[in-house]
Amino acid sequence: MYIDGVDKSWLETDLFSHHFKVKDASHIEKLKRLGIKHVVIDTVKGRDLPKDKGITRDVSAGKDNKESAAAAPAKPAESTIIKPAEPKVDLYTPEEMKRYCETIDSFSQIEKEALIKGSFINFSIFLKKHLNIAMLTEYKNKDIEITDDILSTDGELLIDRNDTHKYTRYIKDLIFSKILDSDVNVKHLKGLLIRENSKLIVRELFDDPRSGETIHKTRGSVEEIVGSIQDNKQITTSLLTINKHDYYTYTHSVNVCVLSIGLAIALEMFNEKEINNIGIGSLLHDIGKSAIPIEILNKPTLLTEKEFSIMKQHVTFGKKILSFHDAMPKDAYHPILEHHERLTGDGYPSSLTGQELHTSGKIAAIVDTYDALTTARPYKDALSSFESLSMIKGQVNNYDSEIVKKFILMLGSIR
C-alpha cells in the first residue's frame, strides 16, 4: 500500500516524508514505534482495502494490513468521529480572569523558532503559562543573547507590543546575518518572516481597523503568502503556526489565510486575482472581533449563552468596519461573511444554504473550523489534525465534501 498521510503532524515524527510505499513489515513496525495508529492510503499508487471491510486501520494492533482488513468489521463513517474532551471549568478565579483580560492585549505572542541561538535581541521576553505572565529576560539597554535556556523554556513567549517593530527588524536582519549556518534554512526563515509580519499587521489592524495604510499592508502581506506558496508549489510549515498552545486572533487569522490560499490553489478553480481576494478575506475574516468587548474576546473560559450571542456579531461588525475602505475587493467579503455559515442553513449570521454560499466562503468555513479545533484554549486541549478532520468529515451535511477531500490531501502534502 502507498501511505499518503499519518495521524501525527509533520513535526512529530522523524520520517523524511509522510508519503511512501509500505514494502515490508519493518515499515509497519516503524509506524508503530512512532505511535502512529491511523494512516491514509493512496489507492492509485498502491493497493486498496477489500471493499467489504472496515475503513479504518489500527497499525498498533500487531497485524499487517491484509490481516487487519480481514478482522475489522465494517464501520459507518460516523464511527470515526473523535469527540473532544469535556471542557475544563472553574479553573480560574474571577480576579485571575479579570487581570488576564486586562493585561494580555499589552503583549504579542512570538515564535521560539524565530529566535536563533547565538543571535542577539534588543527587547525583553516574557513567559506565559496558563494565565500567568512573567518576565523571562529583561532588556536593560544591553543586547540579550539567545541561549539554550531561553529556547528550552516551557511555555509561550511574549513581547511587549511596543517592541513589535524591534522584533520585526530582528527577523529581517537574521536573513542577512553571518550567524546563520548550514543548520538554519534561509527559505524557512523567510517564510517565518512573512508569517510573523502578517500576524503583526492583523494585530495593528485590530488597534485601528479603519486605517487605510494597514489595509494596504494587508494586501501586500497576502501577495507575499500567495507568492511563497506558488514558488514552493505547496504550503510550507514556515507559513503556519502548528503547535498552538493558546488562541490568538491574529495567529488564527494568518493560519486561516495561508490554508485558504493553499486550498484555493489546490482546487484550480480561481485565477490569481481571485486567490488574492480569498486571501484578503481570510486574513480579515475575524476583523469584526475588534468591536467585541475585551472581557468577552479575551475570556479564558467558556462563554455564556449571552456572551456567545454577542461574539456572533463579529461577522456583521466586520462587514461594517471594512465598508469604510473603498479599496476592499467585493469578492473578499465572502470569507468574512460566510465562514460561520453551513450548507444546511444552520450557520450564522444569515442562515445561508449550500446553493447560496460562495466557494470561497465554503473554503473559509472548513479552514476556520479546522484551525480552531487544532488550537488549545485555557479550558480545553487542542485536537490533533486527525481528530479535527474526523469531526469535520463526520458533519457531512455542513461542509462541502469535495472541498473537504481536497483539504485533507493538501494537508498531507505540507512540508
pLDDT (mean) for 147-169: 92
Q: What is the model's pLDDT at position 72?
A: 37
How high is the mean pLDDT of the chain?
84
Query: d(Cα 344, Cα 396) in Å, to the nearest integer?
Result: 10
- Edge-to-edge strands, sheet with 39-41: 20-21, 2-6, 39-41
The residue from 25, 47, 75 where one domain ends is 75
Please indicate whether residue 244 or residue 282 has the higher confidence score (pLDDT): 282
pLDDT (mean) for 33-42: 80
Q: What is the dihedral of CA 280, 283, 289, 291, to 10 degrees?
A: -40
The region that residue 344 occupies, defined by phi over 0 for left and psi between -120 and 50 for alpha, beta otherwise, is alpha
Please indicate whether residue 322 or residue 47 has the higher confidence score (pLDDT): 322
pLDDT (mean) for 144-170: 93
* DSSP, res 86: P
Q: Say if residue 109 is in the same domain as residue 209.
A: yes
- Residue 297 burial (C-beta neighbours within 10 Å; 0-12, 13-18, 19+): buried
| Domain annotation covers residue 17 | yes
Percent of the chain past pLDDT 90, that is, above it, reads 50
The structural domain count of the chain equals: 2
| Domain annotation covers residue 125 | yes
Q: Say if residue 68 is in the same domain as residue 98.
A: no
Q: What is the DSSP string of 230-266?
A: HHHTS--GGGS--S-SS--HHHHHHHHHHHHHHHHHH
The vertex-239 CA angle with 292 and 12, nearest 5°, equals 105
Q: What is the model's pLDDT at position 14?
A: 54
Q: Say if residue 64 is in the same domain as residue 110.
A: no
Please indicate whether residue 326 or residue 138 has the higher confidence score (pLDDT): 138
Q: Say if residue 18 is in the same domain as residue 146.
A: no
Q: Say if residue 10 is in the same domain as residue 103.
A: no
Q: Is 210 helix (H, G, I), strand (E, B) or coil?
A: coil
The vertex-387 CA angle with 384 and 393, nearest 5°, equals 140
pLDDT band of residue 355 (cuts 50, 70, 90) is very high
Domain that holds residue 106: 94-413
Q: What is the dihedral of CA 308, 309, 314, 319, to 10 degrees?
A: 160
Q: Say if residue 225 is in the same domain as residue 301.
A: yes
Query: d(Cα 410, Cα 265) in Å, to the nearest integer?
Result: 10
pLDDT (mean) for 235-245: 83
Amino acid at the residue 190: K
Q: What is the model's pLDDT at position 179?
A: 56
| Domain annotation covers residue 87 | no
What CATH number corresponds to the domain at position 335? 1.10.3210.10
CA atoms within a 13 Å half-sphere pointing along the CA-CB vector of 302: 10
Q: What is the model's pLDDT at position 279?
A: 97
Query: d(Cα 85, Cα 88) in Å, to the nearest integer?
Result: 9
Q: What is the model's pLDDT at position 90?
A: 54
First-to-last alpha carbon distance for the chain, in angstroms, is 21
* DSSP, res 46: S
Q: Say if residue 45 is in the same domain as residue 110.
A: no
Q: Say if residue 142 is in the same domain as residue 281.
A: yes
Please indicate whether residue 161 or residue 24 has the higher confidence score (pLDDT): 161
Q: What is the model's pLDDT at position 64?
A: 40
Q: Say if residue 137 is in the same domain as residue 22.
A: no
> Tens digit of pLDDT for each residue in 181-203?
545 677 788 888 899 889 989 98
| Domain annotation covers residue 155 | yes
Residues in the chain: 415
| Domain annotation covers residue 319 | yes
> Tens digit of pLDDT for each residue in 56-96?
444 444 434 433 333 333 333 333 334 444 455 456 788 88
Q: What pTM, to 2 d.p., does this model score?
A: 0.76
Please indicate whether residue 169 or residue 276 has the higher confidence score (pLDDT): 276
pLDDT (mean) for 289-308: 91
Query: d(Cα 107, Cα 261) in Å, to the nearest integer?
Result: 28
Query: d(Cα 404, Cα 415) in Å, to the nearest integer?
Result: 19
Which of 11, 414, 364, 371 minimizes the C-alpha distance to 233?
Answer: 414
